[in-house]
Amino acid sequence: MRRLELIYLAIFVLSVLLLGLFILRDHAVRQLNQQLQTLHYARQDFDAGALHILLADTSLVQWQREVGQQRFAQALASLLEIASEHVNSRSSLQQEILQIKQSMELLLSLSTAPEAELSQQIIRLRLNIEQLYTLLNAELQRELKNSRYWFLSLVFSAILLVAGLFITLLRTERKRARFHKELYDSEHRLSLIADNIDEVFWLKNAETGELLYLSSTFEKLWQLPVRDIHANPDIWLQRVHPDDRQSVHEAIAQSRLQSVSVDFRIVQPDDEIKWVCDRLFPVSTFNDNNEVIQLIIVIESDITQAKLLNEKLSIAQKLESLGKLTGGIAHDFNNLLTVIMGNAQLINDLLLPDSPLSEIAALIVKAAERGASLNRQLLAFASKQQLKPEKIDVCELLSDMQHLLRRTMGDSIRIDYQPCPNDVYCFVDAGQLQNALINLCINAKDAMPAGGTISISLQRSDDNNYAVIHVADTGEGIADSVLPHIFEPFFTTKAKQKGSGLGLSMVYGFVKQSGGNIKVKSLKSQGSCFTLLLPLCTDSENAGSIENVLEQPLKAGKKLLLVEDDDMVRDSVLQMLGNTDYSVVSAANADSGLALLNEHLDFDIMLTDIIMPGQLNGIALADYVQQHFPEIAIILTSGYVGDLQQQYSSFASYAFLAKPFSKTQLLTALAQLETH
């Protein structure tokens, strides 16, 4: 039994004992008072009987003496009875009783004796009786007094004991109340922690499956009321994705023996998929009967965002791999295009103007240029090339893109293009602008699965500071909850494997880097409109035509050092410059180029590839030449720069000719170099 129950039982037993003692004491007091009264009456009867005997005249009838003797004998019997009850307590009573008995026997034997002798005997007996009465009265008074003292002591002790028990009970109650308050405070604090963190806490009986505790955070994650779980502890399994239920059951079975963790999906009422991680821990404790019971603690976390981040990281790693792969083949691919483009142009120069092969050569050049453009777009998408802005005619660029867009969008999408009546020139990267427009059109097409219209328009802003490009669709529109996130990297509303979430973020980055801005308006079921604002150029001279540079006279007799590790590219460049006034000396690597420079051949220009085998690359070679031969003009060329542009701060100080290039572009670069 518990301590509190024992205290209650002790108080009850003491109360019963105290009541019994009170009853016994009352009975004893009554008996003592009765004996005192009897003793008093017995003495009076004795005196009356003795008086009858002493005063009785012989002339009186015999019955008077007999009455006196009878009352005398009854009184004496009462005295002796009371005395015999207390004979063991006082030894002097025994002697008095013995004397009284002897006197009584003598008195009875003298009942017919003369008056004088009978009177003397009665007086002697009267003295003995008086002495016995005195002793008995004193004894009874003492016992009555002792009984009061004993009872009061007992009552006082009982009161003290009850008071002690009551104080103990009060202290126990206070401790119990303090314990319950501390327990409540502890449970309240734990409840506050459990209900205000993202994790969900479960506590279940491993043997019976009874749910002992479930934090309120469960409702936010599972969108199920906690009371439903208490009513049906297995209802949550219906929300687990069918493909993951087996792994969840296996984890629950293993958790009885060891700690286990399991990741699984849950399907919410709106069909949204969430990823959940459950960590299960077996523990042992004791119940109220001091029996060991097995419990399972479950800590449940929402790992949806972590899963999404892992997927985005996986996409980023794939893009990084794509970038490395693209960068790895870009250099060699552009070298091949340089050979194709250069030699096709050389063939075209050798043909007569009306030759049917001229058109074929022109197609080869055009195909090579398109391949070069595709390669640049791949590098730009993989963020492996810093594309340089140039002054472009935006109206012409949009017009040139119409055929590509109509072919890319398909027959179900109609392209409505409204050009600007005025000239619109911007200083931007043409390839990046094309990519931005293509991304916007692809998004518009995806918003119109049943077909629709994409409207593209160009105009100047009211303040004539910006070119304004509108790309609008008649699709489903963008939800208000999605609109603030559309430019975030990796954010997409498309199905898995159908979008990386990078398209709009690349458009946003391009526009911002170009000094412009992008805006979007959208209405549900009415379509969306993206507006690009790009800074305008102040003049339109020489825009978009590199051939204009060739109208400037080329200086002849210049000595040129060509450093190129690719044999075909080197031979192709030699062919391009073969019919010019440039005197060209070639080297297959940077070390051979340094050897020629140190021979004091007095070069005027050095055209060098950047990525070459050996200890020196093209930029390092250019730095050496700039330091030791400052009079030599330098042109760098490459189909892929990679990270070298960031590694060498001097890269921006040199002229750069991107591969693949044609003979016209090569001569233009050389002419521009000589004019500076």
Same domain, yes or no: 12 and 149: yes
How far is 69 from 632, CA to CA, in rounded Å? 174
Alpha helices in 196-267 (DSSP H): 217-222, 226-231, 245-254
Q: Is residue 316 situated within a structural domain?
A: no
Same domain, yes or no: 512 and 586: no
Structural domain that includes position 658 = 546-675
Per-residue pLDDT, 246: 92
Task: Read off the tokens for 609.
Answer: 């590839």
- 86 CB-contact burial (10 Å; exposed 0-12 / middle 13-18 / buried 19+): middle
Same domain, yes or no: 594 and 554: yes
Q: Is residue 192 situated within a structural domain?
A: no
How many structural domains compose the chain?
A: 4
How far is 657 from 663, CA to CA, in rounded Å? 12
Angle, vertex CA 20, rays to CA 19 and CA 23, nearest 5: 90
How far is 408 from 443, CA to CA, in rounded Å? 12
Helices and strands, counts by H and E, the chain: 17, 17
Same domain, yes or no: 393 and 513: yes
44: domain CATH number is 1.20.120
Same domain, yes or no: 553 and 611: yes
Task: Read off the tokens for 494.
Answer: 């498309």
Q: Is residue 133 situated within a structural domain?
A: yes
Q: Is residue 338 situated within a structural domain?
A: no
- The one-letter amino acid code at 523 reads L
Q: Where are the beta strands (DSSP E) in 269-335?
A: 273-286, 292-302
> Tokens 């509303």 map to which residue?
493
Same domain, yes or no: 139 and 212: no
Other CB atoms within 10 A of residue 660 CB? 25
Q: Is residue 331 situated within a structural domain?
A: no
How far is 290 from 313, CA to CA, in rounded Å? 52
Same domain, yes or no: 416 and 525: yes
- 90 CB-contact burial (10 Å; exposed 0-12 / middle 13-18 / buried 19+): middle
* Global confidence as pTM: 0.46
Same domain, yes or no: 209 and 291: yes
How far is 623 from 413, CA to CA, in rounded Å? 53
Same domain, yes or no: 292 and 165: no
Q: Please list the rounded mean pLDDT of every run of 10 residues in the chain (676 residues).
A: 62 68 65 64 60 48 50 60 55 54 51 56 64 66 67 68 72 80 79 78 85 85 85 86 91 89 90 90 82 88 88 69 69 84 84 81 84 66 59 90 83 88 86 87 88 92 91 88 72 58 73 86 87 80 37 59 92 89 91 88 89 88 91 88 71 84 87 72
Same domain, yes or no: 526 and 405: yes
Last residue of a domain, one of 302, 328, 355: 302
Q: Is residue 568 situated within a structural domain?
A: yes
* Integer CA distances (angstroms), 95 to 42, 43, 56, in order: 20, 19, 31
* Integer CA distances (angstroms), 616 to 66, 311, 446, 642, in order: 165, 40, 49, 16
Angle between helices 115-195 and 62-85 (to 10 degrees): 40
How far is 337 from 178, CA to CA, in rounded Å? 88
3-state per-residue secondary structure call for 324-385 = HHHHHHHHHHHHHHHHHHHHHHHHHHHCCCCCHHHHHHHHHHHHHHHHHHHHHHHHHHCCCC
Cα 281 vs. chain centroid, distance in angstroms? 18
Q: Is residue 287 situated within a structural domain?
A: yes
* Integer CA distances (angstroms), 380 to 386, 429, 642, 655, in order: 7, 11, 11, 21
Q: Where are the beta strands (DSSP E) in 30-149?
A: none
Same domain, yes or no: 396 and 538: yes
457: domain CATH number is 3.30.565.10
660 prior amide bond cis, ω within 30: yes
- 500 CB-contact burial (10 Å; exposed 0-12 / middle 13-18 / buried 19+): middle
- The one-letter amino acid code at 625 reads V
